[in-house]
Amino acid sequence: MSKHDVDYTLYLVTDSSPNYLRGRDLCQVVEEALRGDVTVVQYRDKTSDTGVLVSTARKLHEITKKYKVPLLINDRVDVALAVGCEGVHIGQDDLDLHTARKILGEDAIIGVTVSNLAEVETAVKWGADYLGIGTVFATPTKQNTKSIIGVEGLQEILLKIETEKWPVKTVCIGGINESNVGRVVWQSTANGRSLDGVAVVSAIMAAETPEWAANRLYKLIKTRKTPFANALATSKQQKRSPQELLALVPDIIKAVHTRKPLSHNMTNLVVQNFAANVALSVGASPIMANYGEEAADLAKLGGALVINMGTVTPDGLKNYLKALKAYNDVGLPVVFDPVGAGATAVRRSAVKTIFGGGYVDVLKGNQSEILSCVPGGSNIQQRGVDSGSDGQNLQELASAIKELAKLRKHIVVMTGKTDLVSAGETVFAIENGHEYLGMVTGTGCCLGTTISAMVAAHPNDKLSAVIAGTVYYGIAAEIAAEREDVKGPGTFVPAFIDELHNVRKATVKGHLEWFKRAKVSVIS
Active site residues: 445
Are the CB atoms for 19 and 145 separated by under 8 Å?
A: no
Question: Is residue 415 within a helix (H) or strand (E), and if so which, with residue range?
Answer: strand 411-415
Give the integer Cα–Cα distance in Å for 375 and 157: 9
Are the CB atoms for 403 and 373 separated by under 8 Å?
A: no
Closest CA to 467 of 428, 515, 522: 428
Strand runs labelled E in 40-168: 40-43, 71-74, 87-90, 109-114, 130-133
Q: Which residues pair with 30 in a beta bridge?
A: none
Question: How far is the first Cα of the chain from the last one, in angstroms, to the nearest whole number?
Answer: 49
Amino acid identity, position 346: V
Q: What are phi and psi of 434, to 5 degrees?
A: -150, 150
Alpha helices in 189-248 (DSSP H): 202-205, 210-223, 235-238, 242-246
Give the integer Cα–Cα distance in Å for 317 and 322: 9
Q: Sign of the C-alpha dihedral, residues 376, 325, 206, 66?
A: negative
Question: Is residue 290 within a helix (H) or strand (E), and if so which, with residue range?
Answer: none
Give the integer Cα–Cα distance in Å for 269 and 279: 16
Alpha helices in 419-460 (DSSP H): 443-457
Largest CA distance in the chain: 88
